[in-house]
């Protein structure tokens, strides 16, 4: 029995499994997964990226979307759930050869702590220690605390362990299910300016609730309030210290060309992400720790 299996054997609600067992029709070499089953929720989390892939509340309502064509390969991004993009978001600002959205989502995180209570609330703590290297010049540690109950709480803490300050952009790249894409609306963004990633980040104004017609890729800065996805289900996204909102859907043409999405599957999801990107990236002094938090619940 591995050390992780020994650790998890102490708990009623948490177990170790793998992608071949949970997703037998999926492609890829396979990855270890953690499964949570409690009276309050069901969830699946990949150790790679400390990435929650699925979450259903006690009513059985799915609050996250996982691509039916997700490919489970070590070192490759997983399509769906909540990938954690850091230490940069999108393309690297100065070197296009570096991986899109950083490298945290394709590295294995260490599960350092598990806690559960009698009601079924489960808390998992993951850690990623990154040393200076060819992808990033500075040393840092990330701690991700995931609390699963009737809703999902995710807390990210980043500590600069280096002797120099650095800038650090990141996002909870959340995928949410929608029943009818053309009817889905994101509330809380009307009247706000955004940067349009489809037009060289020029600034525009969102004149009404955000809908999804064709490809959408927008960054809304300075969004302090919660936002909601109106649909089936209606999902509320609350936060602290996540000023940026990124909204994305690839549109039909791009989805058809993406092996891990596939033609037509773009109709089943939208991304509404919270984080700190572009001008809102964190500046971390040597020794500084910053923390952010997001909650996903059925409204």
How many angstroms separate the Cα of 54 from the Cα of each of 35, 94, 146, 225? 9, 34, 13, 25
Catalytic residue chosen out of the listed positions 54, 173, 228, 266 = 173
Say whether the peptide bond before residue 3 is cis (omega within 30 degrees of 0): no
Alpha-carbon Rg for the chain, nearest whole angstrom, is 18
The yes-or-no answer on residue 199 being catalytic is no
How many angstroms separate the Cα of 215 from the Cα of each of 58, 173, 187, 249? 33, 17, 19, 6
Question: Sign of dihedral through CA atoms 205, 96, 165, 144?
Answer: positive
What sections of the chain are H helices per DSSP?
Answer: 3-8, 19-22, 251-257
Which residue's structure tokens are 């691509």? 67
Catalytic residue chosen out of the listed positions 116, 228, 266, 273 = 273
Contacting residues for 45 by C-beta, under 8 A, at least 6 apart: 33, 34, 35, 36, 51, 52, 53, 124, 146
Q: What phi and psi, each to the nearest 5 degrees, are found at residue 27?
A: -95, 160
Three-class HEC string of 133-179: CCCCCCCEEEEEEEEECCCEEEEEEEEECCCCCEEECEEECCEEECC
CB 233 within 8 A of CB 298: yes
CB 40 within 8 A of CB 150: yes
The yes-or-no answer on residue 92 being catalytic is no
Instruction: Say how far apart CA 59 and CA 144 lie, in whole Å.
Output: 26
CB 40 within 8 A of CB 59: no
Cite the active site residues. Answer: 173, 273
């Amino acid at each position: 029995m591995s050390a992780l299996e020994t650790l998890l054997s102490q708990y009623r609600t948490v177990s170790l499994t793998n992608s071949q067992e949970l997703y037998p029709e999926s492609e890829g070499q396979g990855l270890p997964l953690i499964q949570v089953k409690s009276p309050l929720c069901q969830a699946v989390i990949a150790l790679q990226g400390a990435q929650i892939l699925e979450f259903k509340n006690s009513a059985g309502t799915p609050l996250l979307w996982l691509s039916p064509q997700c490919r489970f390969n070590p070192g490759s991004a997983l399509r769906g759930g909540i990938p954690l993009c850091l230490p940069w978001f999108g393309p690297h600002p100065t070197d296009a050869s570096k991986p899109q959205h950083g490298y945290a989502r394709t590295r294995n995180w260490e599960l350092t702590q598990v806690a559960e209570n009698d009601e079924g609330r489960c808390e998992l703590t993951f850690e990623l220690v990154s040393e200076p290297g060819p992808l990033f010049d500075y040393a840092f540690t990330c701690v991700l605390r995931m609390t699963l109950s009737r809703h999902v709480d995710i807390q990210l803490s980043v500590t600069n362990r280096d002797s120099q300050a650095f800038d650090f952009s990141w996002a909870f790249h959340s995928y949410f299910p929608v029943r009818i894409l053309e009817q889905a609306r994101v509330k809380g963004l009307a009247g706000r300016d955004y940067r349009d990633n489809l037009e060289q980040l020029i600034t525009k104004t969102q004149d009404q609730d955000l809908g999804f017609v064709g490809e959408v890729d927008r960054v809304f800065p300075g969004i302090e309030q919660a936002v909601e996805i109106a649909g089936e289900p209606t999902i509320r996204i609350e936060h602290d210290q996540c000023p940026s909102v990124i909204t994305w859907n690839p549109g039909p043409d791009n989805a058809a060309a993406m092996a891990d999405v596939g033609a037509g599957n773009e109709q089943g999801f939208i991304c509404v992400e919270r984080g700190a990107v572009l001008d809102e990236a964190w500046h971390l002094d040597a020794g500084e720790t910053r923390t952010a938090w997001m909650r996903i619940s059925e409204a």
